[in-house]
Amino acid sequence: METNLIRKIIVSAGDRDISYVVGKDMAGGNITVADIVFDQAYALQFNEPRYNIYVIDNKEEVTRMWKSVPGNKCVPEYDLNIQKEL
């Protein structure tokens, strides 16, 4: 199984760009970006790319999906050091 293929995603938000990086604290340290995943099921059903951002709620220690970003509004950056588990 391969995990954490996407290291960072840069989202265009009108007049500014927002970066989401795996491992980065957000919302005043209340959440940490846990993973960024290409939503294959959505892409197949709607013929449009989308990325889902998952975070860890640091108070509850629970991982949840936080945001979904259309592929045309972002640029993913892949982790070049990823290793495939056997």
Domain boundaries, the chain: 6-78
The pTM score is 0.83
Task: Yes or no: say if 53 and 36 are a contact pair by the CB < 8 Å rule.
Answer: yes
Lowest mean pLDDT among 37-41, 42-46, 65-69, 76-80: 76-80
DSSP collapsed to 3 states, 1-55: CCCCCEEEEEEEECCEEEEEECCCEEHHHCEEEEEEEECHHHHHHHCCCEEEEEE
pLDDT greater at residue 33 or residue 80: 33
User: In a 3-state reduction of DSSP, which class is residue 79?
Assistant: coil
User: In a 3-state reduction of DSSP, which class is residue 70?
Assistant: strand
Dihedral of CA 6/51/18/75: which sign?
positive
Mean pLDDT of 26-54: 94
The first and second tokens of residue 12, run together, are: 């265009």
DSSP state of 73: G
